[in-house]
Amino acid sequence: MKTNITVAALCLLTLTACQREAEKLAEFSGHIFVFNYRLSKANYVVTLRPTAPLPEGGVAIARFENPRGGEPLVTQAKLYPKMEKIVLESPNLQCVREGRSYAVKIDLADAKGTVLQQLDTKVLATIDQSILPANSIVVGPAYDMNPKVFKAGGQIDLTPVQDCPA
């Protein structure tokens, strides 16, 4: 009797493990903050490597911790069955602090919106956003000097974003 219960328990554990493995659609392949000094912006960039065929019409929904505080910043990417890489980039950020880790949560959902997999990670900021000026140093397709930065009389305003939470 004891042997039958043990065998049944092992079978159940094996089935559960197989089911969990089948649900794994992707895994993290990279995550970083990207700072663009010329455009004075910072963004999260997260990449996922598919480990199984992705659902047709599915979507990856990323929720990035907002360094300024408040609600997470949300972005989406469509999924295609033969994708080799999923790239998710946050909207522009303010107040990224060096040495701090920020949370990223990603849901992979099918075409009906049913979440098939959830992934969580943290992204460590290795640079402080205070190195970036509040305003882009260039504007337009020809990268003209931004008059908000390069002012009359030769003054240059490279002041970073102010009023960031501590």
Residues making up the chain, counted from first to last: 166
Which domains are present in the chain? 25-129 (2.60.40.10)
The per-residue pLDDT for range 105-160, each reduced to its tens digit, is 999 999 999 999 999 999 999 999 999 999 999 999 999 999 999 999 999 999 99
Tokens coding 23? 């649900």
Amino acid at 88: L
The answer to whether 50 touches 27, Cβ cutoff 8 Å, is no
Q: Is the pLDDT of residue 93 over 60?
A: yes
> Residue 8: what pLDDT?
44
Tokens 């990323």, residue?
62
The pTM of the whole model exceeds 0.85: no
H-type alpha helices, the chain: 2-23
> Residue 37: what pLDDT?
92
Percentage of the residues of the chain whose pLDDT score is greater than 90? 84
What's the mean per-residue pLDDT of the chain?
Answer: 88
Q: How far apart are CA 145 and CA 9, in angstroms?
A: 69
Please report, to the nearest 10 degrees, the dihedral formed by the alpha carbons of residues 125, 130, 135, 140 taken in order.
-40
Q: Is the pLDDT of residue 3 over 60?
A: no
